[in-house]
Structure 1
Amino acid sequence: MPMEIPAGSAGAGETLNPSSEKIVLYNRRTGVLEEESVAGRAWMDFFYGTAVGRRITALLLCRPWLSRLYGAWQQHPASRGRIVPFARQFGVALQEARIPTGGFASFNDFFIRHLQAGARPVAADPRALIAPADSRLQVFDLTADTRLQVKGSAVTVPALLGRPGLPQGFEGGCCLVFRLAPCDYHRFGFVDDGLQGPIHNVPGLLHSVNPLSLKHKPDVHCTNQRQWCFLEGRALGTMIQVEVGAMLVGSIVQHQPAGGPCRRGGEKGYFQFGGSTVILVLPPGRVVIDAAIRHHSAKGIETLVRYGERIGEAVLAQ
């Protein structure tokens, strides 16, 4: 169970996570701050927190071939034994999952699980901006130099997309970073009805996207493998959605690599084994983000959100 931290423990303007080894999250359901339980914490501290570990990571662990090999192991029937201990340790609600007859075939089968109907209801109000994934959300404004401070990393949207310059129409908008932990439901969706453009693939390595690793590898989001596309939304206008792969993620699976129609709350794709990130870039003046999310984002604190739930509201065109 996550440890509760008094909500008043961070002073105005204080950023908890970058100055601490703890990962602090805001839970909107309970109204309190929690410390995140990190899968493989001891290994993370070694491979990103020591000189020897970082050398091993650079030479071996972040290589895509190793993630493919590890992903193949997670698809082997022998990996099934990890499911129950993992779910128990990280509080995965197995009762929400659609468990096949005979159980999950492998750990990866559990990792990319479907949920029972109604387990992730989509906010009914069509003006509500919804979360595209179960995740930890932090919001940033796109300033003149377009640099985003993500857990100590200096990320630019052009570098994220692997292209020069910020696409026209996004200056002054906002960027929503949804970080998925290994214990999360790893399917991600669309936030608006409309049209999805073709997927652009930007090759890269596969570092962890956990805040503990970002302290030592601050350009992770711009060096990891990522895929992105334009979305033409009915309510939100032109958006950019980016999926970032991470260490030991077997692959990013896109349902419409060539593009096609999209439906608000509909599934866009899924990540295979590992933690990952979804980033949504929105144009200016189209959304108002919930005040509590904004408040905690300004302090460097992510907010726990679920696929389909309200995180803000679309601004209706005049």
Structure 2
Amino acid sequence: MISEYLSKVLHGAVDNVISWNAHWGWVSCDRKTGRLEREKQTLWRKIKLLLLFNPLTEWVDTTQAMRLYTHNRTIKQGEKEGTLESKKDIKLFVEEFGIDMNEYKPSDINEYSTFEDFFVRAHKDGSRPTHEPSNHAHAVVAADSRVVAYESVAEAKHLWIKGKNFSISTLVMDTDLGSQFYGAAVASFRLSPQDYHRYHSPVSGKVKVFRSIPGDYYQVDAIALQSDVDILTRNRRVYLVIETESFGDVLFVAIGATNVGSVNIIDAEADKYRIHEKFQQIGAKFAKGDELGYFQFGGSSIIVAFQNGRISFDQDLLDLSKQRIQVAVEIDMSLGYATN
């Protein structure tokens, strides 16, 4: 069992030089260059994920003690990142992950008062042009992230999201809504801490449903997603059902994770937990590429589901996803086109 899990951990070609600080993350294909690469992740972090999410120890993750520890750790980390002292961490973070600050505003790291302010930094206008902005029948990428796309939930469960109880119904905690997305095509976007953490709408439309669901803050690393632990249906999340002319109803789910203090929803503990207020209202309209909200304090995940037969994902995304290779994408790139 462990040897099988190690093969998942080291998916793809092994680095020529083994280093604790080498890139040990899951294999991705850079959509711009076509090159295969792995996320920048230390070997130690990968080992910790292996120890937590493997068939012999996953039972630990079902205990209340583990959930409470992870939740409290996340809240404390979020509080730390909001302090003035955290500003000193920005420079090292930018250097470690090679972040090009010329793409952001402000571009001078000294203009951010805390790490939290830096974490939710905004793109400069024009740095991420929207694919075919006037064509509402063409969906776009929701976040700077690594994405996999599958033509059905069943295929997604077989190849990528292995949580034993994962379904659209359990994701939204609503069997009636889940039935509307039976056989849905699914795009799963996974954001790492170094990514731009604002998320945008993949389609043009208006808000039909807005809802938030309390939960925990488990890892959303590829290793965790491919374990039997129900990561996506346990974590704190907020979702919109978007009514569109071209795609029918589209489900957009923003999911918090370890070291993510918020998915920007209204919360009794902190009023900063919110998706942008104007999009909390039923009937609120937006165009594809419009910013819907943002995550705070770490990695996170987005699920976008399209009703059965309503979208054809781009072929490169489908082909690589079938090989369990993530595609490194930028916000507002092409995702797919409406079929009805």
Q: Give the TM-score normalised by structure 1.
A: 0.84
**C-alpha deviations, 1:136-155, integer Å up to 9, x for none?**
11112335799564354342
- Deviation for aligned residue 1:47: 6.1
The residue number in structure 1 matching 2:34 is 31
Alpha carbons of structure 1 residues 46 and 143: separation in structure 2 relative to 1, 3 Å: closer
User: What percent identity do the matched residue pairs reach?
Assistant: 25
From 148, 158, 176, the counterpart of 1:138:
148
Partner of 1:81: 88
Q: Partners of 2:129 and 2:156 in 1: how far apart?
A: 34
- One-letter identity of the residue aligned with 1:133: A
Pairwise CA distance, 1:298: 0.5
CA deviations over 1:87-119 (Å, ceiling 9, x no partner)? 122121111110178511111111100111101
Runs of 4+ in 1 over 6 A off after TM superposition: 52-57
The answer on 1:117 being equivalent to 2:120 is no
8 Å CA contact 2:241, 2:249 repeated in 1 = yes
Alpha-carbon distance in 2 for matches of 1:194, 1:25: 31
Question: Bigger shift: 88-97 or 106-115?
Answer: 88-97
Higher helix share: 2
Change in Cα spacing, 1:229 to 1:212, as seen in structure 2 (3 Å) is same
Structure 1 residue matching 2:328: 3-state secondary structure: strand
Q: How many residues align?
A: 299
Indicate whether 1:289 and 2:332 are aligned.
no
**Equivalent of 1:181 in 192, 203, 206:** 192
Q: CA deviation at 1:86?
A: 1.2
Cα shift readout 1:238-262 (whole Å, capped 9, x = no counterpart): 1111111101111111012334212
**1:273 and 2:294 aligned:** no
Amino acid at match of 2:117: D
1:224-246 residue CA offsets vs partner (Å, 9 max, x unmatched): 11111210013221111111110
Letter in 2 for 1:232: E
Q: Which has the higher strand share?
A: 1
1:241 aligned to 2:252?
A: yes
Q: Which amino acid aligns with 1:32?
A: R
Q: Provide the residue aligned with 1:205 in structure 2.
A: 216
SS in 2 for 1:109: helix
Question: Matches of residues 207-222 of structure 1 in structure 2 within 5 Å?
Answer: 207-216=218-227, 218-222=229-233
Q: Say which SS state the counterpart of residue 197 (structure 1) adopts.
A: strand
Aligned equivalent of 1:128: 138
The answer (yes or no) to whether the contact 2:25–2:46 under 8 Å persists in 1 is: no
